[in-house]
Chains A and B, each alone.
Chain A
Amino acid sequence: MLINEQKHDNIDIVVLSGRFVMADSPEVRERLKVLIDEGQGKLVVDMSQVSFIDSSACAVLISAFKGMQLKPGRLLLVTSPVVQSLIELTRLHTIFEILPNLPAALDALSTS
């Protein structure tokens, strides 16, 4: 899986692509933790290019969500249809703020 970090004003963006599975979880968990700890409380995880996620990947997202709540800050997800389906299947859509694309997510964080 590819992990690409970007910055847009004071918003941190993590763009993930490929398969996000257990083997990738430790690295993504660590990088999200650093961004949450050192960032300005505005983070977008763009998974529009992610083709598959498993339970450990969802667990990483939950950890990041909890970390951002403690900061406190706002974590937005951008999902691909596959990721969205799995998130809905496991009811995670009831906690995550999900935007249809990166510009919409940046717009939402810029105005908040």
Chain B
Amino acid sequence: MDVIILADRKGQELLPLTDNTCIPLLPLAGKPVLEHTLEALIEAGFRQAHIVLSPHAEQVKEAFGNGERWGMRLTYSTSRGEEAPLQILASLQNPPTPPFLIMRGDIVRSGSLKSLLEQAENNPSPCMQALFGTKKGFVMLCRNPQSAELNQLNWAGSTQQPTGIELNGAVALLDSLAAFHQANLDAAAGRLPLLIPGRQTALGLTQGRNTEVYPQSVKQGIALIGAYCNLHPSVELSGEVVIGDHVIVDRRAGIENTVILPHSYIGELVELRNAIVRGNDLIRVDNGAVLKISDTFLLADLTTSPINKGLGTLYNRLAGVLLLLVSLPLWFLANVLVFLQKPEKYFNEYRLRGNKIEQDDFGLPQRAGFATWEYNVTVPVLRYLPRLFAVISGDLRLVGALPVSPETAAQRTEEWEKFADRAPAGLLGPTQLTIPADAPEEEKLMSDSFYWANFSIQQDFRYLLQALRMLVSRKAWIG
């Protein structure tokens, strides 16, 4: 039987958790949300599924691949995000053969899919949905791919009264930060029965491999701790606590009813209660506060920033100094030219957004702007010479995306625009070298997007060589 998994929620309701990932990949009780759906399918005997993705689709494909690890065959397609199921089915390369199973993979449910199939077998309805009490299970056996009842799986909402087959189990819609937090605690406590990774090492304590935690840390309640974690013996865990992989909790920290996502550091004496921690993001689910903690002694993100990818900052700055020395004759030439062409105004000053990270008024990290200037001459290679100082100061990398003004950056709001915006800004790059200055804005943006999507150190070296070759080209001197 064909299986279609809809996992194309945009995830706005779970921001900031979904700012760099998507709901199917959010960790819930030690596993990505989507994995719980795959496990339910395996348990019911399914060995293949087609997954419909939208934001961060490539991350999901990378994480789940062809499904071999789960003994499944997975295929993928994409939607624009939260599209109606009928529309999605119409756009599939290989439409499912009725009867087929269709379900959301960006929520979590327990309960046996086998029961749904058995009960639906004798029911003539075109689509039979699973219900958990009064809640929709967002899983349906469908005999008619054009049935309007498919709209009940629409994440954007359906006004139809849910009808279907009642199953034993529970469903977590993950439709708010508080719901995501509660679903984690429910899974750890067994109220949302899921397959949980790790082994029970003491009463109330389940831990993953290579994790160091002392049973006496669990004062009362339940703790589910992932792999490769290190909790100081003086740490106190109470209530229900879920800790993801690669988390470090320092001495005398107190954690109660909290979910800590992977790669987070919890500092000494820190008290966490009713919260979600993701790196240095602290989300209080009881009062709705979302804070970015700047003091790394309290909370820290153990992952590295993508801005630091590529040639190291120090190498970049050293290369900037070297280029400045080598380019000294060009500076002389630029001064002579500008004196002859525009003696009334040597320079144009402007601000660009660089690669240094600073905090805004709300404590949120953002890329800092920097002041730069250009020679008031028509020769491109001379005009942009002063940007070498930005490379030396670390505001620009040697190779990167086209630097833009903070105002231009603020206009980039769509996901595809923000993707290109993640690339570090550079003195040289494909856009600077190959795209004409008067090309449409989207062409420059797409060029940067391609650069970032195919990023590699080797590619950066290729652009450096291309830049050196272009130094003797007509374009560098005439424009």
Q: Which residues of A contact B (CB under 8 A)?
A: 22, 25, 54-56, 58-59, 62-63, 66, 86, 88-101, 104, 107-108
A54 / chain B contacts, CB cutoff of 8 Å: 450
Q: Which 4 A-B pairs have the closest CB atoms?
A: A59-B443, A55-B446, A91-B416, A93-B78
B90 touches A108 (CB 8 A): yes
CB distance from B90 to the nearest CB of A (A): 7
A55 touches B416 (CB 8 A): no
CB distance from A52 to the nearest CB of B (A): 12
In the bound complex, what is the Cα–Cα distance between A14 and B450 (angstroms)?
24
Partner of A94 from B416, B430, B447 at Cβ < 8 Å: B416
In the bound complex, what is the Cα–Cα distance between A48 and B414 (angstroms)?
26
Q: Mark B450-469, 1 if CB is under 8 A from A, else 0.
A: 10010000000000000000
A97 touches B453 (CB 8 A): no
Residue of A nearest to B93 (CB): A100
Q: Mark B392-432, 1 if CB is under 8 A from A, else 0.
A: 00000000000000000000001110011000000000100
Assuming A59-B440, A96-B80, A97-B80, is B91 touching A90 (CB within 8 A)?
Answer: no
In the bound complex, what is the Cα–Cα distance between A47 and B195 (angstroms)?
44
At the interface, yes or no: B280 with Cβ under 8 Å from chain A? no
In the bound complex, what is the Cα–Cα distance between A97 and B78 (angstroms)?
10
Residue of B nearest to A59 (CB): B443
Q: Which of the segments B51-59, B320-328, B366-374 contacts the partner chain?
A: B51-59
B414 / chain A contacts, CB cutoff of 8 Å: 94-95
Assuming A55-B447, A62-B442, is B90 touching A104 (CB within 8 A)?
Answer: yes
B446 / chain A contacts, CB cutoff of 8 Å: 55-56, 58-59, 62, 90
In the bound complex, what is the Cα–Cα distance between A107 and B146 (angstroms)?
14
Residue of B nearest to A57 (CB): B446
14 residue pairs of the A-B complex, CB under 8 angstroms, read: A55-B443, A56-B439, A56-B443, A58-B446, A58-B449, A90-B453, A91-B419, A92-B416, A95-B80, A99-B91, A100-B92, A100-B93, A101-B93, A108-B91
A91 / chain B contacts, CB cutoff of 8 Å: 55, 415-416, 419, 449
B91 / chain A contacts, CB cutoff of 8 Å: 97-100, 104, 108
Residue of A nearest to B91 (CB): A99
B442 touches A63 (CB 8 A): yes
Q: Is the interface of A mostly helix, strand, loop or mixed?
A: helix
B81 / chain A contacts, CB cutoff of 8 Å: 94
Assuming A59-B446, A96-B80, is B90 touching A90 (CB within 8 A)?
Answer: no
CB distance from A63 to the nearest CB of B (A): 6
Assuming A59-B443, A62-B442, A104-B91, is B449 touching A93 (CB within 8 A)?
Answer: no
At the interface, yes or no: B445 with Cβ under 8 Å from chain A? yes
At the interface, yes or no: B206 with Cβ under 8 Å from chain A? no
Assuming A55-B449, A59-B445, A59-B446, is B90 touching A93 (CB within 8 A)?
Answer: no
Question: In chain B between 68 and 122, which residues have their CB closer than 8 angstroms to a CB of chain A?
Answer: 78-81, 90-93
B90 touches A88 (CB 8 A): no
B434 / chain A contacts, CB cutoff of 8 Å: 22
A88 / chain B contacts, CB cutoff of 8 Å: 57-58, 78
B80 touches A90 (CB 8 A): no
B440 / chain A contacts, CB cutoff of 8 Å: 59, 63
Instruction: Choose among B55, B420, B446 the residue with the greatest number of A CB atoms under 10 Å from its CB.
Output: B446
Residue of B nearest to A66 (CB): B442
In the bound complex, what is the Cα–Cα distance between A95 and B442 (angstroms)?
14
In the bound complex, what is the Cα–Cα distance between A26 and B63 (angstroms)?
38
B447 touches A56 (CB 8 A): yes
A94 touches B54 (CB 8 A): yes
Residue of A nearest to B448 (CB): A55
Question: In chain B between 292 and 344, which residues have their CB closer than 8 angstroms to a CB of chain A?
Answer: none
B93 / chain A contacts, CB cutoff of 8 Å: 100-101
In the bound complex, what is the Cα–Cα distance between A35 and B91 (angstroms)?
24
B416 / chain A contacts, CB cutoff of 8 Å: 90-92, 94-95
CB distance from B76 to the nearest CB of A (A): 9
A55 / chain B contacts, CB cutoff of 8 Å: 430, 443, 446-447, 449-450
